[in-house]
């Protein structure tokens, strides 16, 4: 059972499990990470090319885009001791 939890892929969404939204340029987009990890052993890494990321908490982030277009946000979890990486899902935001 512990192995199953350790190998659980992270899931990110915009709230209520939405994985695609439209947002105005310059408006912070809230991203939630749904999977719980031991913060002493794992690090959640949100990647948002072209966007500025602010960590609100271990499971809450804000991404700010200053240009319009279709954007993707990815997540992965990195194990502290083994340096293993668990890749999660990709979510999409259209900045208008």
pTM for the model stands at 0.88
CA-based nearest residue to 42, from 81, 71, 74: 81
SS3 content of the chain, % helix, strand, coil (to 5): 5, 55, 40
- pLDDT values of the chain reduced to their tens digit, one per residue, 96 residues: 445 556 688 899 999 999 999 999 999 999 999 887 777 788 889 999 999 999 999 889 999 999 999 999 999 988 877 678 889 999 999 999
Domain ranges of the chain: 2-95
The answer regarding whether domain 2-95 maps to CATH 2.60.40.10 reads: yes
Contact between residue 65 and residue 71 where contact means Cβ atoms under 8 Å apart: yes
């Amino acid at each position: 059972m512990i192995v199953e939890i350790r190998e659980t892929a992270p899931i990110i969404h915009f709230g209520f499990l939405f994985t695609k939204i439209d947002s105005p340029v310059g408006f912070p987009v809230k991203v939630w990470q749904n999977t719980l990890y031991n913060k002493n052993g794992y690090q959640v890494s949100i990647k948002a090319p072209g966007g500025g990321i602010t960590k609100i908490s271990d499971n809450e982030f804000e991404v700010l885009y200053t240009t319009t277009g279709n954007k993707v946000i990815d997540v992965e979890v990195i194990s502290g001791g083994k340096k293993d990486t668990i890749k999660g899902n990709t979510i999409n935001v259209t900045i208008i």
